[in-house]
């Protein structure tokens, strides 16, 4: 039905969209937009299932700092997972 190059291109686009949304979420934390905005709610709803488990893991390991490293770790994990999937499809 789908050839591997089509699936690979879809995975690449999906990983870029996820990374872009995480980056937008980081920017939102700096500028503090209206939390009731539809765009802000969309970005939070799309990124929270990715960031929340990472945040729980980081704080569960004893980190109590001011900087939230979960977006950085999420972007590395997304890139790693999608690269492994692409490698398996080739």
Burial class (CB in 10 A: 0-12, 13-18, 19+), 31: exposed
18/84 Cα distance (integer angstroms): 16
Query: Could you read off the pLDDT of 37-50 as tens digits, one per residue?
Result: 999 999 999 999 99
Query: What percentage of the chain carries pLDDT values higher than 90?
Result: 79
- pLDDT for 47 equals 97
Query: How many Cβ atoms are within 10 Å of 71's Cβ, its own excluded?
Result: 19
Query: How many Cβ atoms are within 10 Å of 49's Cβ, its own excluded?
Result: 8
- pLDDT for 5 equals 87
Query: Could you read off the pLDDT of 7-36 as tens digits, one per residue?
Result: 999 999 999 999 999 999 999 999 999 999
SS3 2: coil
79/85 Cα distance (integer angstroms): 10
What global pTM score does this model have?
0.88
């Amino acid at each position: 039905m789908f050839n591997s190059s089509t699936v690979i291109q879809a995975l690449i686009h999906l990983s870029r969209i996820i990374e872009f949304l995480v980056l937008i979420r980081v920017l939102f934390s700096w500028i503090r937009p209206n939390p009731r905005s539809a765009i802000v709610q969309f970005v939070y709803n799309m990124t929270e299932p990715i960031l929340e488990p990472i945040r729980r893991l980081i704080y569960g390991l004893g980190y109590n700092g001011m900087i939230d490293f979960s977006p950085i770790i999420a972007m590395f994990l997304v890139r790693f997972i999608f690269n492994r999937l692409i490698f398996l499809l080739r």
